[in-house]
Amino acid sequence: MSDLFSVADVTAARGTLRKMGIAPGEGEAPAHYTLRTGEQRLALNAHLGAALRLTHTGNIHCLHCGRRTRKSFAQGYCYPCFKSLAQCDTCIVKPETCHYHLGTCREPRWGEQHCFQPHVVYLANSSGLKVGITRKTQLPTRWLDQGAIQALPILEVDDRLQSGLVETLFKQVVGDRTNWRAMLKGDVAPLDLVAERDRLLASLAPELAALRQRVGETAIREVSLDPLSLSYPVWEAPRKVVSHNFDKDPDVSGRLMGLKGQYLILDTGVINLRKFGGYEVDVAIE
């Protein structure tokens, strides 16, 4: 099966939702979005302005094991997987609580493959200045998933635990959350991320020095890169953000007005597709 269908190939499909695939555009071009339902792929940019309908069939399948589940946990998992997978553990959200060294990692091999890899601490502007962390290999996907319009890596560390320790320091002076409503409305002023980086590194210099003494002088490295600007295929941003929810209404329809972060922007409201990972839907485009 082809990974990407053309407009003429697919106007209807059924499958289990996964988060949308997003690739950066070239130059100032907007990001490219792909709707993923089961094995099927649909390029969404070409359908801006079209009537789109997503209908939840009532079925939810775990994204890991495939079993049917009455409720989705952690954006797409059944309860047994939610309780047993390392990728669903609380240390993924709070990496500073990593417990691998205690011998209690749920899946040591998975942790070694994903957590013991270079991570980046970054500044981004999605609804204002925020700090975040991600695996180095996840750039710029992480920023696109968040709907950031600007991003700048500021530090590189050896593993996920160290990234969490650094992020904890930064969260004393800068937030780590995105106001998703403001992000979707698009009323976000550009920031001088280089100046913000320099300000924050200077203000946290004593704390970073102490952390380097703890984890190793070369474990936390400053990164000197230019900020990246990101744009999205949005014809019209919502003036008032109204959310669709498959758990409240299985039928979501409207004219596709834009794509930003993991959100579909319809003229009837918005929906975060990542939130509904594992939900089986019928897709129809006119």
Asked whether the predicted pLDDT for residue 70 surpasses 80, the reply is yes
Together in a domain, 167 and 207: yes
270 shares a domain with 213: no
Indicate the DSSP class of residue 99: -
> How many other C-beta atoms are found inside a 10 Å radius of the C-beta of residue 284?
15
pTM for this model (two decimals): 0.93
For residue 191, what are its two tokens? 């920031």
Q: Are residues 144 and 185 in the same domain?
A: yes
Residue 268: the pLDDT is: 98
Report d(CA 74, CA 278) in Å as an integer: 10
pLDDT of residue 7: 35
Residues 224 and 238 in one domain: no
Peptide bond preceding 80 in cis form (omega within 30 of 0): no
Q: Is the pLDDT of residue 250 over 80?
A: yes
Considering the domain architecture, whether residues 60 and 123 belong to the same structural domain is answered as no
Over residues 248-255, mean pLDDT: 97
Q: How far is CA 61 from CA 17, 74, 147, 246, 275, in A?
A: 9, 13, 27, 14, 14
Containing domain of residue 224, as a range?
118-229
Quick check: 9 pLDDT over 60? Answer: no
Least confident piece of the model among 6-15, 133-142, 222-231? 6-15
Specify whether 45 is located in the same domain as 134.
Answer: no
Percent of the chain with pLDDT over 90: 94
Q: What is the 3-state secondary structure (H, E, C) of 2-30?
A: CCCECCCCCCEEEEEEEEEEEECCCCCCC
Instruction: Using the predicted structure, report yes or no on whether residue 8 has a pLDDT greater than 70.
Output: no
If pLDDT is split at 50, 70 and 90, which confidence band does 12 have? confident
> Of 199, 229, 259, at which residue does a domain stop?
229
Same domain, 138 and 171: yes
pLDDT in tens, 106-147: 999 999 999 999 999 999 999 999 999 999 999 999 999 999
Segment 34-40 mean pLDDT: 93
What radius of gyration do the chain's Cα atoms show?
20
Q: Are 155 and 222 in contact (CB under 8 A)?
A: yes
**pLDDT tens profile 163-201:** 999 999 999 999 999 999 999 999 899 999 999 999 999
Residues 6+ away with beta carbon under 8 Å from 156:
118, 119, 120, 121, 136, 220, 221, 223
Which of 194, 210, 229 finishes a domain? 229
Query: What does the alpha-carbon distance between residue 264 and residue 274 come to, in Å, rounded to a whole number?
Result: 10
Model confidence at 13: pLDDT above 90: no
| Number of domains the chain is built from | 2
Q: Is 101 exposed, middle or buried (0-12, 13-18, 19+ CB in 10 A)?
A: exposed
H or E element that contains 204: none
pLDDT of residue 10: 58
Report the Cα 98 to chain-centroid distance in Å.
21
CA atoms of 161 and 173, how far apart (whole Å): 20
Q: What's the chain's average pLDDT?
A: 94
Within-domain flag for 110: no
Q: Which of 27-31, 150-154, 229-233 has the lowest mean pLDDT?
A: 27-31
In sequence order, the 6+-apart residues with CB closer than 8 A to the CB of 136 are 117, 118, 119, 120, 156
Question: End of a domain among 229, 251, 269?
Answer: 229
Structure tokens at 285: 């485009």
The pLDDT tens digits of the residues spanning 92-111 come to 999 999 999 999 999 999 99
